[in-house]
A and B are shown apart, each in its own frame.
Chain A
Amino acid sequence: MITALNTTEPKIIPLCGQSDLIPNSGICAAVGDQQIAIFFLPDETPQVYAIDNWDPVGKANVLARGIVGDVDGRLVVASPLYKQHFDLITGECLEDHQVSVATYSVTLLANQVQLSL
């Protein structure tokens, strides 16, 4: 689990190469038992975003396979199961403010996607 990896020192975990990313879409990486959805939006700054892959509404690991876009200027992914929107930056579910997913700090550096914990 992520929490088990947590130390006082910031920890950098390489996840994948830039060529693994799909422009304007998502992929999924595993960190221990955790599934992280990574979205590559080449025209945005920053270019990569990471949230839980687990859809808390549909209850399946599918968010990486949603369509990305924006709602009122907020970058979102729409769950492929029941179409709820999750904010790529805050993890908030736009349809139900009680629901949210975790977000992760990722960077694209020297053609590598890195997760900072």
Chain B
Amino acid sequence: MLKIVVVGNGMVGHHYVEQLAAADVEAHITVIGGEDRPAYDRVHLSEFFSGRTPEDLALTTQEHYRELGVEAHFGDAVASIDRDKKTVSTVNGKQFAYDKLVLATGSYPFVPPVKGNDHESCLVYRTIDDLDNIQAQAQGSKVGVVVGGGLLGLECANAVKNLGLETHVVEFAPGLMGVQLDAGGSAMLRRKIEALDVKVHTSKATQVIEANADGDSRLIMRFADGSSLTTDMIVFSAGIRPFDQLARDCNLKVGERGGIEVDQQCKTSDNNIFAIGECALFDGRIFGLVAPGYRMAEVAASQLGHDSTTFQGADMSTKLKLLGVDVGSIGDAHGSEAGAVAYTFSDERIDVYKRLIVSADGKNLLGAVLVGDCSDYDTLLQYFLNGIALPTDPQTLILPYNAGGAPALGAAALPATATICSCHNVSKGDIVTAMDAGYCSLGEVKAETAASTGCGGCAALLKSIVDDELTSRGLEVNKAMCEHFNLTRQEMFHIIKVESIKSFAELIEKHGSGRGCEICKPTAASILASLWNDYVLEEKHVGLQDTNDTFLANMQKNGTYSIVPRIAGGEITPDKLIVLGQVAKKYKLYTKITGGQRIDLFGARVQHLPAIWQELIEAGFETGHAYGKALRTVKSCVGSTWCRYGVQDSVAMALYIENRYKGLRSPHKLKSAVSGCTRECAEAQSKDFGVIATENGWNLFVGGNGGMKPRHADLFATDLDDETLIKYIDRFLMFYVRTADRLQRTSVWMSNLEGGLEYLQQVIIEDSLGIGAELEEQMNNIVDTYQCEWKTTIEDPEKLKRFRQFVNSKAEDRDIIFVEERGQPRPATEEERIKILALSA
């Protein structure tokens, strides 16, 4: 059997073993690691000081290797290679024969040749043992200096800071992270790091390190410019050098400045010896990141199988968090290519710096620098790696969204070859293939492709691709809403309207099959309500409603309900406030103010709902439709009546709007707000439709929302008078109700309309479809037939029968148990519930 010996068990050496084991090559693998422990995650090394244990950082174990059939020796480094006999010998005198030898010896920290660098308080930062030493030295230290202001140096500074020391960074070059950042980015990074109380000293050449004879601190560093710095310990983290001594000793070809020379197959000058990772020199370069190291491991492993691949160099773009600061660097950060054009955006208020380097013709992204905000990194990297043509105004890619910035590159726009996860080299095509094979959830895709299981930097992008694929598949395969109707919501709406269908039974008989389900029934109920506005608890409709609609309240996790009376515009009298308090007290309800300027009463048992509402209605409240896919609230600021800045009466307008559209059933919930001036205190731009007062009237915004994917609303029309404002909102809402899909918020609906905002403006303002009058009439019809569902319900004894916990008993549901927290009731946890029930039994 082929004997393979792997020297070194760092991240790359370990990856090689895993690749080989997975490739099912007939071979005996021996791993020899100089450190006492098997491979661990060096990328996240600094987390050791924020609580991660060596076990957390471990990538494998001795047992795991045993299961793979791999012979592993740790804590015994290889001392020499005999290429003629094809053997390696270890420091402890063991000898291993090989057919193929893989050198994954990695690198060692570069310690500048400064007199005094061998003091016992001078340390390096590379291995878990080094961290143990740093931790030991930090005991009894007050000040720590890190020599090196590059990526590794700042990682190390984070570690020193986490140990609670006054932290200094000393850098020879004029700026931090000079390799990855341009001068502007470097300056912003410095600003941010100094704000974190890390002292930065640049352009400092250390000449000598001396024991400090007379001070509190142990050491004194003297610099070439005559200045000095006292400290208790020094950690060198000023770069790496390839660990190539073994190769030199056996006369393998090495580079002038170190590194074992390899070809595209990762072979050294000896056909039977491979070198991978940071000890290898490819095309005159050392690749000091884990992703290229993994690529080399895969290439080297593939040489022993059938499908050999080649190493072509690697992209060194990187995104990371240094001392909590987001830093991203793509391609040529310095703009060294002839004719390259740079765009720079800098906001010192929030300490964000972004720079784009674009080719002379403006078509390609050559590089980018991001400091303080890496949210554009994924999009920019895709432009860079895939040579995607830039938009006409590339600066929009880094401008804030509200300043005209372009939206992120959609998942659909990426080519199949686009690399999504660079740690595991997963392309968009790989993800699509996995989904074709039936691995469709995000979790399954991750497990199947390994995407996003390395540094995790691509998690957001991966999710958007999976979502996008799911959406497009959903549409391709089947637009049907469920197994009972081969219709979209829009089609169902059309049919119900045109054929004047008045019940679900009629609908399913004519256009569906089976008996319906929890998807099509509430959808049909919502459309029937939007079109005919019948009372939702009529016998023919009651079985169609979600429990929230049936009981006109919101079910909570323990089966009780919450109640939100309408408080239009957030305006409420003291008397009504008192009633809410009294009712909550009487029925032992938990009370909380909602984001929509209302008061939510939680924990009502189903049998108490009518009595609670009886009291609320007597006090003048009506239902708030918080349970329905319907208009919820119209939030308002106090407006010109009170506010020194208000230019219109926003409360009156909010009241009018809320009272006009209350109860309107829609494809999803609808929220609105009215602000009395441009200060926008009511946050109208985060609503489905928002109104902001101007000197001359009202500006209308549409398509905003908060929640998981917040979106700013778009300005739809300006300086409207009251009448026109309402006319446009009537048309907008009714057009949405008619054409949107089930559970589609206005923002998604609008962006899915061909022509988007402009089209919507044509339909509503210019009445391009000639349906304006019809939409208004339909809305008027709904406004005219409004009824408070709770009022209708409590007036009908037949309907109240539904609100019994038990049809045959007055008992209460004994499984609903509350405990007190912060002076209010809350549902007992499952453990508390079981304990309390056991005690009462």
**Bound CA span A24–B515, Å:** 10
When distances are taken between beta carbons in the complex, the residues of chain A under 8 Å from B483 are: 71-72
* CB contact between B815 and one of A29, A61, A83 (< 8 Å): that residue: A61
* CB contact between A70 and one of B514, B543, B558 (< 8 Å): that residue: B514
Q: Is the CB of B543 within 8 A of A62?
A: no
Q: Output the least CB separation between A100 and chain B (Å).
A: 19
Q: Is the CB of B808 within 8 A of A78?
A: no
> Is B802 close to A, CB under 8 A?
yes
CB within 8 Å of A: which of B797-841?
A: 801-802, 804-809, 811, 813-816, 830
> Is B516 close to A, CB under 8 A?
yes
Interface bin, chain B: 35 or more
When distances are taken between beta carbons in the complex, the residues of chain B under 8 Å from A61 are: 559, 813, 815-816
**Bound CA span A29–B805, Å:** 8
Q: Is the CB of B521 within 8 A of A22?
A: no
Closest to B833 in A: A59
Q: Is the CB of B558 within 8 A of A66?
A: no
Q: Is the CB of B542 within 8 A of A25?
A: yes
> Is B539 close to A, CB under 8 A?
yes
Q: Is the CB of B543 within 8 A of A60?
A: no
CB within 8 Å of A: which of B537-568?
A: 539, 542-548, 550-551, 555, 557-559
Q: Is the CB of A25 within 8 A of B543?
A: yes
Q: Is the CB of B557 within 8 A of A60?
A: yes
**Bound CA span A66–B548, Å:** 10
Q: Is the CB of A30 within 8 A of B518?
A: no
CB within 8 Å of B: which of A33-47?
A: 33, 35, 38, 41, 43
Closest to B550 in A: A65
When distances are taken between beta carbons in the complex, the residues of chain B under 8 Å from A43 are: 515
Q: Output the least CB separation between A55 and chain B (Å).
A: 8
Q: Is the CB of A83 within 8 A of B543?
A: no
When distances are taken between beta carbons in the complex, the residues of chain B under 8 Å from A71 are: 483, 517
When distances are taken between beta carbons in the complex, the residues of chain A under 8 Å from B539 are: 22-23
> Is A73 close to B, CB under 8 A?
yes
> Is A93 close to B, CB under 8 A?
no
> Is B175 close to A, CB under 8 A?
no
When distances are taken between beta carbons in the complex, the residues of chain B under 8 Å from A59 are: 830
When distances are taken between beta carbons in the complex, the residues of chain A under 8 Å from B809 are: 29-30
> Is B522 close to A, CB under 8 A?
yes
> Is A101 close to B, CB under 8 A?
no
Q: Is the CB of B550 within 8 A of A29?
A: no
Q: Is the CB of A30 within 8 A of B555?
A: no
Q: Is the CB of A22 within 8 A of B802?
A: yes
Can you list, as one digit per residue, whether each of A69-112 has a CB less than 8 Å from chain B (1) or not (0)? 11111011010110100000000000000000000000000000
Q: Output the least CB separation between A102 and chain B (Å).
A: 16
Can you list, as one digit per residue, whether each of A50-62 has a CB less than 8 Å from chain B (1) or not (0)? 0000100011111
> Is A28 close to B, CB under 8 A?
yes
* CB contact between A30 and one of B516, B547, B808 (< 8 Å): that residue: B808
Given contacts A29-B808, A62-B559, contact A24 B543 (CB under 8 A): yes
> Is A117 close to B, CB under 8 A?
no
Q: Is the CB of A16 within 8 A of B808?
A: yes
Q: Is the CB of A15 within 8 A of B815?
A: no
* CB contact between A67 and one of B544, B555, B805, B808 (< 8 Å): that residue: B544
Q: Which of A15, A41, A60, A66 has the most CB of B within 10 A?
A: A60
Given contacts A33-B814, A62-B555, A83-B518, contact A27 B807 (CB under 8 A): yes
Given contacts A29-B806, A33-B814, A80-B555, contact A70 B515 (CB under 8 A): yes
Can you list, as one digit per residue, whether each of B257-271 has a CB less than 8 Å from chain A (1) or not (0)? 000000000000000
Q: Output the least CB separation between A36 and chain B (Å).
A: 9
**Bound CA span A31–B812, Å:** 13
Q: Is the CB of A35 within 8 A of B806?
A: yes
Q: Is the CB of A22 within 8 A of B815?
A: no
Q: Is the CB of A67 within 8 A of B559?
A: no
By secondary structure, the B interface counts as loop
**Bound CA span A54–B725, Å:** 50
When distances are taken between beta carbons in the complex, the residues of chain A under 8 Å from B542 are: 22-25
Q: Is the CB of B543 within 8 A of A23?
A: yes
When distances are taken between beta carbons in the complex, the residues of chain A under 8 Å from B545 are: 67
> Is A68 close to B, CB under 8 A?
yes
Closest to A83 in B: B518
Q: Is the CB of B515 within 8 A of A69?
A: yes
Q: Output the least CB separation between B427 and chain A (Å).
A: 33
**Bound CA span A68–B558, Å:** 21
Q: Is the CB of A66 within 8 A of B518?
A: yes
Q: Is the CB of A78 within 8 A of B543?
A: no
Q: Which of A27, A69, A72 has the most CB of B within 10 A?
A: A69
CB within 8 Å of B: which of A1-39?
A: 15-16, 20, 22-25, 27-30, 33, 35, 38
**Bound CA span A73–B807, Å:** 29
When distances are taken between beta carbons in the complex, the residues of chain A under 8 Å from B544 are: 24, 67
* CB contact between A54 and one of B484, B516, B802, B815 (< 8 Å): that residue: B815
* CB contact between B811 and one of A27, A30, A41 (< 8 Å): that residue: A30
Q: Output the least CB separation between B550 and chain A (Å).
A: 7
**Bound CA span A80–B518, Å:** 9
Q: Is the CB of A20 within 8 A of B807?
A: yes
**Bound CA span A54–B830, Å:** 14
Closest to A82 in B: B557
**Bound CA span A3–B545, Å:** 35
Q: Output the least CB separation between B534 and chain A (Å).
A: 16
When distances are taken between beta carbons in the complex, the residues of chain A under 8 Å from B557 are: 58, 60, 81
When distances are taken between beta carbons in the complex, the residues of chain A under 8 Å from B801 are: 20
Q: Is the CB of B559 within 8 A of A28?
A: no
When distances are taken between beta carbons in the complex, the residues of chain B under 8 Å from A81 are: 555, 557, 559
When distances are taken between beta carbons in the complex, the residues of chain B under 8 Å from A69 are: 484, 514-518, 520-521
When distances are taken between beta carbons in the complex, the residues of chain B under 8 Å from A68 are: 515, 543
When distances are taken between beta carbons in the complex, the residues of chain A under 8 Å from B484 are: 69-70
**Bound CA span A38–B808, Å:** 12
Can you list, as one digit per residue, whether each of B477-492 has a CB less than 8 Å from chain A (1) or not (0)? 0000001100000000
When distances are taken between beta carbons in the complex, the residues of chain B under 8 Å from A73 are: 514
Given contacts A70-B515, A71-B483, contact A15 B808 (CB under 8 A): yes
When distances are taken between beta carbons in the complex, the residues of chain A under 8 Å from B815 are: 54, 60-61
When distances are taken between beta carbons in the complex, the residues of chain B under 8 Å from A27 are: 802, 804, 807
When distances are taken between beta carbons in the complex, the residues of chain A under 8 Å from B555 are: 62, 65, 80-81
Q: Output the least CB separation between A46 and chain B (Å).
A: 15
Can you list, as one digit per residue, whether each of B233-270 has a CB less than 8 Å from chain A (1) or not (0)? 00000000000000000000000000000000000000
Closest to A15 in B: B808
Q: Which of A33, A35, A67 has the most CB of B within 10 A?
A: A67
* CB contact between B517 and one of A15, A22, A65, A70 (< 8 Å): that residue: A70
**Bound CA span A43–B515, Å:** 10
Q: Output the least CB separation between A10 and chain B (Å).
A: 20
CB within 8 Å of A: which of B485-531?
A: 514-518, 520-522
When distances are taken between beta carbons in the complex, the residues of chain B under 8 Å from A75 are: 515
Closest to B525 in A: A67
**Bound CA span A4–B546, Å:** 35
Can you list, as one digit per residue, whether each of B563-595 has a CB less than 8 Å from chain A (1) or not (0)? 000000000000000000000000000000000
**Interface positions of B (Cβ within 8 A of A):** 483-484, 514-518, 520-522, 539, 542-548, 550-551, 555, 557-559, 606, 801-802, 804-809, 811, 813-816, 830
Which 5 pairs of residues, A with B, have the shortest CB-CB distance? Answer: A24-B543, A69-B517, A60-B559, A80-B547, A78-B518
Besides the known contacts A67-B521, A67-B546, A69-B518, 20 further A-B residue pairs in the complex with CB atoms under 8 A apart? A15-B808, A16-B808, A20-B807, A23-B539, A24-B543, A30-B811, A33-B814, A35-B813, A58-B559, A60-B816, A61-B559, A65-B555, A66-B547, A67-B517, A67-B545, A70-B484, A73-B514, A78-B517, A80-B546, A81-B555
